[in-house]
Amino acid sequence: MYDYDLFVIGGGSGGVRAGRVTAQLGKKVALAEEYRYGGTCVIRGCVPKKLMVYASAFAQQFTDAKGFGWTVGNTSFDWPTLRGNIDAELNRLEGLYEKGLTSNGADTFNQRATITGPHEVQLADGTTKSAETILIATGGRPFIPDVPGAEHVITSNEIFLLDELPKRILVVGGGYIACEFACILNGMGVEVHQYYRGAQILRGFDGEVRGHVSDEMIAKGINLHLGTDVTRIEKQDDGLHVHCTNGSICVVDQVLYATGRVANTENLGLDEVGVETGRKGEVKVDTYGQTSVPSIYAVGDVTDRVQLTPVAIREGVAFVETVFKNNPTSPDHELIPTAVFTQPEIGTVGMTEEEARDKYDVDVYRAAFRPMQVVLAGREERMLMKLIVDKATRKVLGCHIVGPAAGEMIQLAGVAVKMGATKEDFDRTVAVHPTAAEELVTMKEPV
């Protein structure tokens, strides 16, 4: 007889959802979290980041308002006020996450847990608990390369905890996290430099989208340096002196590294019990989330499949269906709509133009235009929309949007693409006018 039907290690989105839904089935559930409930998304990721995106956009909005007849007085930004308000919201959400477990009868342990057997975990206080099934949902953390002076840098974890904003910052990396924070900090008035060792930012996204966003970031004042990497960092009286591969030195107050993430699996006891891990420490699982030890499963970022909060939640629900409802369910990782909250914003689903051309004979439909809201403001920022269409079947293989509300639009476009809509299905849909989104259904000729 086990103490629990399910013991979850990790209180992020995937772990909490799996624990709560299992407890609602009347099963005996426990969850251990060593830091704060909510995980990366709620505490140090999606939620605080999106709130910072909103905050950083006001500077442009104040400027734009003049073109629409508004007189805007002196404005200033107060970081402690924003940070305090974000902290209050995170505390509220954390409480809801924990309450969702305890109100459904789950036990919670606010301490670290390690796996000591196929059906056993040990808590930091030395007590052990047995469980028929163990779920690993420990997520991931930012990766910092072994660069001389790395002890002086911060990551996306610490950016939310700064007592004051730096006047100058270097963001290292070219992925969506690096680009989002470069835009956020630029909008808040920080002098932003960004180094990326590759030829273009946002590797893996559509090539035209990458170039469009890069150009707009530069136009907004971000000092983007491509083909550039850090060789060493020295702390001096006037700031951090960052030496780079092209021989230049960038002097800043902070260096933010956003160069990928690794799974939180160290000292979890996985090797000792035979749970197989990959090269980067990720837990290897089958299509149902089961590890090499039959009684142990894993969901979310710790598996390094698709590192997105909604995916972790879907994986948690699929785990419950499989293990506790006798309904083997494999989470669907195909055609996942994604938003990147750069400025301008990106929304994307399906294949990039480059991916599609490798497999299909395609038509590409493209619209690039100034959205209405920037015209009276006197800005030259342009919006980009693309549909990638298979010539043979007319099926829309990919949809890519860059511009205001791209994330909102791609959620709905994602439904159509997921259903297998054709270009003619888009064409038959009457445009909503005047909107930017109407371009999705009015592009008539391929480029």
* Active-site residue list: 433
CA 351, CA 399: separation in Å to the nearest integer?
Answer: 8
Contacts of residue 45, defined as CB under 8 A and 6 or more positions apart, other chains included, come to 39, 156, 309
Structure tokens that stand for 116 in this block: 């000591």
CA 73, CA 190: separation in Å to the nearest integer?
Answer: 21
* DSSP symbol at 136: E
H helices of 66-175, where? Answer: 79-102
Q: Which helix (H) or strand (E) holds 83?
A: helix 79-102
Contacts of residue 443, defined as CB under 8 A and 6 or more positions apart, other chains included, come to 365, 366, 367, 385, 387
**Bridge partners for 196 per DSSP:** 226
Among 292, 300, 272, CA closest to 122: 272
What sign does the CA torsion over 104, 108, 114, 118 have?
negative
CA 272, CA 52: separation in Å to the nearest integer?
Answer: 42
Ramachandran region of residue 403, left (φ > 0), alpha (ψ -120 to 50) or beta? left
Q: Which helix (H) or strand (E) holds 407?
A: helix 406-418
H helices of 107-167, where? Answer: none
